[in-house]
C-alpha cells in the first residue's frame, strides 16, 4: 500500500476541482476527475516549510533568496540537462500570467499567434483577451499519440505572418512527451522564419518510463534569441495554490523587455509562500516524486485496461507524461453537449470537455489520473455507467 492511496477529503476546502463543481454543474454528488491538480498530500518537506513560516508568525515583504536561484539552477541541470545562470531566471506568479506578460511584451494588438489543436484552453483565451489572433495547427494522431504537422505549421507561419508560437511541452491534454527530433524541427522553423517561441514546460518533471523530457532550452543556441520558457514546481509537487513559477530567458534584451512588462503590470513581487514552497519542493521532494511517477503510470495502465475491457470503442491516448488522459468517445456519442450531459447526469462524474481544447477536441474528454486508485476505479465505473 502506497501513501498515495490515502483518501484526503477535499470537499469544503475551497478546491476548484471539488467545490467548483457545484457552481458549474449545480450538483454536489459528482466525482471530479477534471481540473489538473492532484488529490494527494504535497511532499512532507513542503508542508513542514510552510508550518515553520506560519509558526514564525511575521508575514512581511520578502526578498528572493540567493539559495533559491541556486536550487533551481541545480534542478534544471540535474533533472533536465538545462544550463542556466541566475541572470536567465525571473520569478513570476504563475505560468499563465507569465504567458500573458510574454504576449504583451513581445507581440502587438492584431498580431497572430500559432497554437496546436487541441491544446490547453487558456492559451486561446490569453491570446484573444489580449486582442491577438489565434491560428491553429491541428496535431496528427499517429500510433495513438499526437505528432506535430511541421509542414502545416510552416504554411500557417507564412500565410498568417505568425509572430509567436505557444508550445505545450509536454502536451496537455495529450500527455505527449515531444522528442528531441520533433522539437529540433520546430526550433528550425522558428529560427528560419524568426518566430518567437513561448514554451510552457510546466509538466517537465511528470514523465513516464521510456520517455525523456527535452527542454526547448537545450535544442539550439540559435533559438535562444527567440525563446521564452516557462516552468514551475507547482504541477510536479501539487502546490498550485502557491502561484509561483519561473521564466527562463537566455537573451537578456528579451529578458529586459519581459521584466519591463512585469513592472508595467506591477507583477514583479512574489508571494512568500511561493518562494518557500518552490524551495522546499525542489530541495526535499525527490523521493515523493519517485513514488508519484510509477503510481500515476499505474493509474494510466488501469484506466487503459478498464476502457479496453468495458468501453472498447473509447479511443485512449495513453499518456507518456503528465497525469492527463485524452479520450475519444465519438464512437458512442457524436454531440459534445450530449456527451457532457451523459457523464454528468447518468455517470455523476466530471471530466474536462475536449471541445474546450479546440475544434479537434470534438467528441473527446480529458481525464485526470492524479488521485488514489480507489477514486479512479470509482470514476471509471461512473464513466461506464454513463454509456449503459
Ligand atoms: C500546460 C499548463 N500550463 C499552465 C498551467 C497553469 O499554470 P499556473 O497555475 O502556474 O498558471 C497548467 C495547469 O494545468 C497547465 O497544464
Residue 130 in contact with residue 104, Cβ under 8 Å? yes
The reported pLDDT for the residue numbered 387 is 93
Task: State yes or no: pLDDT of 253 exceeds 90.
Answer: yes
- Mean pLDDT across the stretch 60-75? 97
Atom of ligand 1 nearest to the CA of 36: 14
pLDDT at residue 28, as a whole number: 86
pLDDT of residue 2: 80
- What is the longest distance spanned by two Cα atoms in the chain? 59
Rounded CA-CA distance 276/280 in Å is 6
Is residue 257 predicted with pLDDT exceeding 70? yes
Assign 147 to helix, strand or coil: strand
Q: How far is the CA of 57 from the centre of ligand 1 (A)?
A: 30
* pLDDT band at residue 388 using 50, 70 and 90 as cut-offs: confident
How remote is the CA of residue 355 from the centroid of ligand 1, in Å?
A: 18
If one counts every other C-beta atom within 10 angstroms of the C-beta of residue 292, the result is 24
Alpha carbon distance 236, 225 (integer Å): 28
Quote the ligand 1 centre to 313 CA distance (angstroms). Answer: 30
CB-CB contact of 112 with 132 (8 Å) = yes
**If we measure between CA atoms, which residue out of 367, 369, 284 comes closest to residue 329?**
367
| Alpha helix segments (H runs only) across 311-354 | 336-341
Average pLDDT over residues 246-255: 98
Task: Find the residues whose C-beta lies inside 6 A of ligand 1.
Answer: 36, 94-96, 120, 168, 172, 200, 202, 232, 234, 240, 245
Q: How far is the CA of 254 from the centre of ligand 1 (A)?
A: 22
- Say if residue 290's pLDDT is above 70: yes
Residue 121: pLDDT over 70: yes
Buried b (16+ CB within 10 A) or exposed e, 210-246: ebebbbbbbbeeebbebbbbbbbbbbbbbbbebbbbb
* SS3 state of residue 326: strand
pLDDT at 146: 98
Helices (H), the chain: 16-25, 44-56, 66-80, 95-106, 122-129, 150-159, 180-193, 252-264, 272-284, 286-310, 336-341, 373-386
pLDDT, tens digit, 9 for 90 and up, residues 80-104: 999 999 999 999 999 999 999 999 9
Ligand 1 center from residue 324 Cα (angstroms): 13
Burial of residue 98 (number of CB atoms within 10 Å: 0-12, 13-18, 19+): buried
Q: Which of 168, 178, 174, 181 is nearest to 212 (CA)?
A: 178
Nearest CA to ligand 1 atom 16: 172
Q: Which residues pair with 207 in a beta bridge?
A: 321
Which residue among 96, 99, 116, 119 is best mutated to probe the pocket of ligand 1, counting the most ligand atoms within 8 A of its Cβ? 96
Task: Reply yes or no on whether the pLDDT at 6 is more than 90.
Answer: yes
Q: Dump pLDDT digits (tens) for 208-243.
A: 999 999 999 999 999 999 999 999 999 999 999 999
* Cα distance between residue 9 and residue 109, in whole Å: 45
- Mean per-residue pLDDT, 333-353: 97
Phi, psi at 98, each rounded to 5°: -70, -40
pLDDT band at 1 (very low <50, low <70, confident <90, very high): low
Amino acid at each position: 500500500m502506497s501513501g498515495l492511496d490515502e483518501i484526503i477529503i477535499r470537499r469544503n476546502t475551497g478546491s476548484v476541482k471539488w467545490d467548483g463543481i457545484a457552481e458549474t454543474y449545480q450538483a454536489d454528488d459528482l466525482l471530479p476527475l477534471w481540473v489538473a491538480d492532484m488529490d494527494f498530500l504535497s511532499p512532507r518537506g513542503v508542508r513542514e516549510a510552510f508550518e515553520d513560516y506560519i509558526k514564525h508568525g511575521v508575514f512581511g515583504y520578502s526578498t528572493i533568496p540567493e539559495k533559491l536561484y541556486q536550487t533551481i539552477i541545480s534542478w534544471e541541470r540535474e533533472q533536465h540537462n538545462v544550463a542556466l545562470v541566475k541572470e536567465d531566471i525571473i520569478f513570476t506568479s504563475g505560468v499563465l500570467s507569465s504567458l500573458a506578460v510574454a504576449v504583451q511584451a513581445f507581440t502587438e494588438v492584431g498580431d497572430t499567434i500559432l497554437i496546436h489543436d487541441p491544446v490547453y484552453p487558456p492559451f486561446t483565451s490569453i491570446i484573444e483577451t489580449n486582442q491577438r489572433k489565434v491560428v491553429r495547427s491541428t496535431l496528427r494522431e499517429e500510433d495513438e499519440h499526437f505528432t506535430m504537422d511541421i509542414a502545416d505549421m510552416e504554411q500557417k507561419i507564412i500565410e498568417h505572418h505568425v509572430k509567436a508560437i505557444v508550445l505545450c511541452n509536454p502536451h496537455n491534454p495529450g500527455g505527449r512527451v515531444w522528442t528531441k527530433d520533433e522539437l529540433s524541427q520546430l526550433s528550425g522553423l522558428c529560427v528560419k522564419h524568426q518566430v518567437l517561441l513561448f514554451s510552457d514546460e510546466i509538466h517537465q518533471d511528470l514523465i513516464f518510463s521510456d520517455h525523456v523530457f527535452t527542454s526547448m532550452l537545450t535544442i539550439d543556441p540559435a533559438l535562444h534569441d527567440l525563446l521564452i520558457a516557462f516552468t514551475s514546481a507547482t504541477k510536479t509537487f501539487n502546490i498550485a495554490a502557491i502561484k509561483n513559477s519561473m521564466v527562463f530567458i537566455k537573451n537578456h534584451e528579451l529578458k529586459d523587455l519581459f521584466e519591463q512588462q512585469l513592472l508595467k503590470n506591477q507583477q514583479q513581487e512574489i508571494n512568500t509562500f511561493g518562494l518557500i514552497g518552490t524551495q522546499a519542493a525542489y530541495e526535499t521532494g525527490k523521493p515523493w516524486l519517485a513514488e508519484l511517477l510509477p503510481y500515476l503510470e499505474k493509474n494510466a495502465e488501469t484506466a487503459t485496461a478498464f476502457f479496453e475491457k468495458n468501453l472498447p470503442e473509447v479511443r485512449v491516448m495513453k499518456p507518456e507524461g503528465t497525469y492527463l488522459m485524452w479520450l475519444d468517445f465519438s464512437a458512442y456519442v457524436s454531440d459534445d453537449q450530449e456527451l457532457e450531459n451523459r457523464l454528468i447526469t447518468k455517470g455523476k462524474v466530471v471530466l474536462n470537455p475536449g471541445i474546450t481544447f479546440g475544434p479537434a477536441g470534438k467528441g473527446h474528454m480529458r481525464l485526470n489520473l492524479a488521485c488514489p486508485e480507489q477514486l479512479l476505479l470509482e470514476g471509471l465505473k461512473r464513466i461506464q455507467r454513463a454509456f449503459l
